Amino acid sequence: MLKSTKENISDGFYNRYFKQNAEFRFGVEMVQFLYFKKGKFLNPRKKDEYIEQYTKEEIENFFDKGELNIPQITFCITTKCSLKCKDCGSLIPDFNCKEHIDMSLDEFKQSLDKVCDAAAKIRRFVILGGEPLLHKDLSVMIDYAAQKENIDVVEIITNGTMIPGEAVLTAIEKHNKKAYLYISNYAVNKDLLPRLKHEEIKSLLKLHNIKLQMVDVMGWLKEFSFSKEASDFETTKARYKKCHCSHCTQLFNSKIYVCSKASSAIELGLVDVDDYIDIKNSKDLKQDFIKFYDKDYLKACEYCILSDVPVLPALQD
Ligand SMILES: C[S@@+](CC[C@H](N)C(=O)[O-])C[C@H]1O[C@@H](n2cnc3c(N)ncnc32)[C@H](O)[C@@H]1O
Ligand code: SF4
Ligand code: SF4
């Protein structure tokens, strides 16, 4: 049962659903205008006004029209990675000692079909890993996702160490008004420079008329994994509020998790909680999403250790 009404929305639902949708809508509309010449120019100085307006519209869409919109969802298609970062926020190197998980093409399509059927809109759809360029079916996945009419933009996140193959470039080029590549720029880590292929990737993208988003990653936070003890409600709520991953809803191994760190930890058995959406067994995915967003945080957050300790990005083990 939904705790919130239009007049009385709980903090969790307001922040995790309405505010996130408004913020992602603003971000996506900026990307669409700047990269794809779609829509209208949004003045960044008026961001707060837009967010207020979009939040109002989102509340009406949900309560009056029964519309569910997903601000962002990432699909982790592989735990294989070309790097082994000490402080990986997704705990991906921990899979090296276990078995790697690859999402099959069928699973990708079936899961995406279900998510797209449950939601009126997916504002930002992200494909990542590990390193997504290591997945043999990446090009087909991009093509499949970009054809979904209710997905606004498709982002593929790479660590910049691998050159995308012809099939991947062709797939993004085919949808180059919707799909783009995002490189996490680890150039600040001088030891990594010989492994970064930024210039080669940039010239290939130019040749294929593909947009690139590349943000300098200046600092990372040290990764401390999870504690054995759960924290209380107020402590966890405050932790979730300051967490930079709180909007990183992720589908991994057929389950929808609060973030990539929680998804890896639960799959690796580092945290013993079952707070996620089981997409294969969901009888009503739209309702399950609503219940998911109507929480202040998810159980994994009670065990999560966040840090304020800055570290050099992508330090290798
Ligand atoms: C886990 S990565 C997966 C995609 C790809 N392998 C990469 O590194 O870009 C997703 C994003 O999380 C960021 N990230 C990973 N560990 C982090 C940390 N400890 N602190 C801050 N950001 C982190 C990365 O920079 C990247 O942009
Ligand atoms: S941060 Fe990215 S590149 Fe580094 S280990 Fe994690 S997934 Fe791989
Ligand atoms: S488990 Fe919760 S607190 Fe920890 S990184 Fe994920 S969203 Fe943030």
Please report the domains of the chain, with CATH numbers, ordered by start residue. Answer: 71-311 (3.20.20)
**Confidence category of residue 314, pLDDT binned at 50, 70, 90:** very high
Q: Is residue 240 in contact with ligand 3, taking CB distance under 6 Å?
A: yes
Distance 89 CA to ligand 1 centre (A): 6
* pLDDT attached to residue 50: 98
Residue whose CB lies within 8 A of the most ligand 2 atoms, among 84, 97, 159, for a mutation test: 159
* pLDDT attached to residue 267: 96
**Confidence category of residue 216, pLDDT binned at 50, 70, 90:** confident
Distance 22 CA to ligand 1 centre (A): 24
Q: Please tell me the number of Cα atoms within 13 Å of 101 on its side-chain side.
A: 21
Residue whose CB lies within 8 A of the most ligand 3 atoms, among 16, 236, 297, for a mutation test: 297
Q: Report the 10 Å Cβ neighbour count for 17.
A: 26
Task: Encode pLDDT of 104-158 as tens digits.
Answer: 999 999 999 999 999 999 999 999 999 999 999 999 999 999 999 999 999 999 9
Q: Is residue 88 in contact with ligand 1, taking CB distance under 6 Å?
A: yes
CA distance 127 to 173: 16
Q: Whose C-alpha lies nearest to ligand 2, atom 6?
A: 88
Q: Is residue 271 in contact with ligand 3, taking CB distance under 6 Å?
A: no
Q: Is residue 81 in contact with ligand 2, taking CB distance under 6 Å?
A: yes
Q: Does pLDDT of 54 surpass 90?
A: yes
Distance 3 CA to ligand 2 centre (A): 38
| C-alpha 136: how far from chain center | 21
Q: Is residue 83 in contact with ligand 2, taking CB distance under 6 Å?
A: yes
Instruction: Report pTM.
Output: 0.97
Q: Is residue 313 in contact with ligand 2, taking CB distance under 6 Å?
A: no
For range 287-306, the mean pLDDT: 96
* pLDDT attached to residue 214: 95
Q: Is residue 159 in contact with ligand 1, taking CB distance under 6 Å?
A: yes
Residue whose CB lies within 8 A of the most ligand 2 atoms, among 88, 188, 217, for a mutation test: 88
Q: Does pLDDT of 1 surpass 80?
A: no
Distance 258 CA to ligand 2 centre (A): 18
Residue 306 and residue 184 in contact, taking contact as beta carbons nearer than 8 Å: no
Task: Encode pLDDT of 164-183 as tens digits.
Answer: 999 999 999 999 999 999 99
Among 264, 243, 251, residue whose Cα is nearest residue 73: 251
Beta partners for residue 126, in sequence order: 74, 155
Q: How does strand 250-252 pair with strand 69-76?
A: parallel
Q: Is residue 71 in contact with ligand 1, taking CB distance under 6 Å?
A: no
For range 1-7, the mean pLDDT: 84
CA distance 113 to 235: 37
Distance 260 CA to ligand 1 centre (A): 10
* pLDDT attached to residue 217: 79
